[in-house]
Amino acid sequence: MAFLDVEHSLTGRRWVGPSADIARVAEAIMQQTALPPPVCQILARAGVLAENAQAYLAPTLRDLMPDPRSLRDMEQAAKRVLDAVTRRERIAVFADYDVDGGSSAALLITWLRDLGRQATLYVPDRIDEGYGPNDEAMAALAAKHDLIICVDCGTLSHGPIAAAKGADVVVLDHHLGAETLPPAHSVVNPNRQDEDGALAHLCAAAVVFLLLVEAGRQMREAGTKGPDLMALLDLVGLATVADVAPLIGVNRAFVRQGLTVMARRDRPGLVALADAAGMDTAPTPYHLGYLLGPRINAGGRIGQADLGARLLATPDPHEAAALAERLNTLNTERRDIEASVRAAALAQAEERGLEGGLAWAAGPEWHPGVVGIVAARLKEATNRPAIVIGIEDGIGKGSGRSVSGIDLGAPIQRLAAEGLLIKGGGHKMAAGLTVAEDKIEAAMARLSELLVKQGADALGPADLRLSGTLMPDAATVGLLEQIDAAGPFGAGAPAPRYAFAGMRILHAKRVGETHLKLSFGAPGGARLDAISFGAFDGPLGPALLGHGGASFHLAGRLEINTFRGRQSVQLRLEDAAPA
């Protein structure tokens, strides 16, 4: 039975409440630990036993940190990097152009700088060079450097790494590997075919951090001391959230500790970017994923590819301020470009039909820097894996996003092996591809066929899972503090959502082009403010703005809003249904 009898909400979703089993487990945890009910419910949903509750609520690197040497090639990779430092070799860092790549590069550049060594940063241009190493860039770097470290890329770059003649190449990556590895000195990647998958949830920056931990161990064994690694966790936490890595295991500690480090405001680049984004509170996963991450990505999407990595690595506050302002401007431009491509892609996908295993769209001169974001929006709108492709000069460059339980990376690799793609790769939840224009239809049909075998065609509108009901007067700052104690929340660990049943809309107004702000309450009771971003992109905004005095069930996540130093609770409204 649907929660609050909502079988079909305003956004077309069925509401699902907590199961009887979760309720029983939450009650048992509460009896054994005396923790607040909302926290016990989150623990029960996460499968945490009562005896492990306190450890889960206080994730530490000491308890959760894996042994770096559990990853293949790690020991030899760290030794090669240390040898380069000791012998004062020329080092280059080749990084992907997204947040994970930029954070990974900044980790290495900062660590090397602390050891008195400078590294050359190289980030490929998304349009001219595409993703990952290419023959020309690697050959040029090898001519002037002794060691090239590829971060967040390189696992599938057999040809370009072979082209790096005269230099050693170390790959630190997390993208899905093929059956054979490139001719690198070492390839450290938890998603190599010969790994057991225990650390498959790590982003590239986390892999780089593990290498630095291993390097620190080797330095201690040699009687020397390395740089402070804890001060680098802000970069690891940022990349983990922005790359949508699941918040399980050590990733929870990376994010929790990273937010603590970031709150100290010691890194000039992040301080400048937070100020440019108007952040006036302590950082949260939301800030990393929706305020900082998109701005860092903006350089790689529509501007200069290395801006994000340079911002994160610079020790100079003046340079940081200039880079942050440039990225902030580019992000505004990116939003405008994205809006036009998104409208065209959604219309095309709907016209094609959404009954199969894949939602996809392709268009001439769609900016390659926004196709990934648009694919994410298409995925959210259809609850299907989604691919969006921009075509130029007969070549399509696309990006894909998947839904929980459906692996997109492996089928993309299979298409490349079958010759339907020029190249392609990624991981379970995200992938990229290059395809000849005349093969797009065939490639997408084959991809849909492979995704149907995983059950992608059986997915209906995504259910909205709710933790229970609340009244406005129960939504207090104290409740939010209890809930936040069970965080961080994000991919793989969603924040609890609550329903407010039978509410009257007391005030509603449109904000900007697509957002809705409102306040609501029960007759004679307390009122609560709410914000719904993008409400007018669908039926939610028009229905609630024109409520006509009707009552609604409202659902979403609670958050703390800070205005002029005063804290209050507001609802991040995600869905509604007539009461």
Residue 436: is its pLDDT beyond 90? yes
* Residues 172 and 222 occupy one common structural domain: yes
Residue 41: is its pLDDT beyond 80? yes
What is the per-residue pLDDT for 492? 86
Residue 489: is its pLDDT beyond 80? yes
449 to each of 10, 335, 364, 442, how far by Cα in Å? 31, 33, 25, 11
* Residues 502 and 559 occupy one common structural domain: yes
More confident residue, 460 or 118: 118
Q: Tens of pLDDT along 63-118?
A: 999 999 999 999 999 999 999 999 999 999 999 999 999 999 999 999 999 999 99
CATH (domain of 560): 2.40.50.460
* Residues 387 and 476 occupy one common structural domain: no
Taking the C-alpha atoms of residue 109 and residue 121, their distance in angstroms, rounded to an integer, is 8
- State the average pLDDT over residues 473-499: 92
pLDDT band at 458 (very low <50, low <70, confident <90, very high): confident
What is the per-residue pLDDT for 295? 97
* Residues 311 and 423 occupy one common structural domain: no
- β pairing state of 551-563 and 566-578: antiparallel
CATH (domain of 193): 3.90.1640.30
- Could you tell me the residue range of the domain that residue 368 belongs to? 353-458
Residues of the chain with pLDDT > 90: what percent?
89
Bridge partners, 507 (sequence order)? 519
What is the per-residue pLDDT for 127? 84
* Residues 478 and 408 occupy one common structural domain: no
Q: Tens of pLDDT along 532-579?
A: 999 998 899 999 999 999 999 999 999 988 777 788 999 999 999 999
pLDDT band at 354 (very low <50, low <70, confident <90, very high): confident
How far is C-alpha 419 from the chain's CA centre? 30
Taking the C-alpha atoms of residue 106 and residue 112, their distance in angstroms, rounded to an integer, is 10
pLDDT band at 256 (very low <50, low <70, confident <90, very high): very high
The reported pTM is 0.90
Q: What is the rounded average pLDDT for all residues in the chain? A: 95
- State the average pLDDT over residues 354-379: 93
Domain annotation covers residue 38: no
* Residues 436 and 524 occupy one common structural domain: no
What is the per-residue pLDDT for 546? 94
* Residues 402 and 492 occupy one common structural domain: no
Write the single-letter amino acid at 530.
A
pLDDT band at 444 (very low <50, low <70, confident <90, very high): very high
Domain annotation covers residue 397: yes
Q: Tens of pLDDT along 196-254?
A: 999 999 999 999 999 999 999 999 999 999 999 999 999 999 999 999 899 999 999 99
* Residues 429 and 553 occupy one common structural domain: no
Give the angle 181-187-193 at the CA atoms, nearest 5°: 55
What is the per-residue pLDDT for 523? 83
Taking the C-alpha atoms of residue 203 and residue 491, their distance in angstroms, rounded to an integer, is 12
Number of other CB atoms surrounding residue 194 within 10 Å: 9
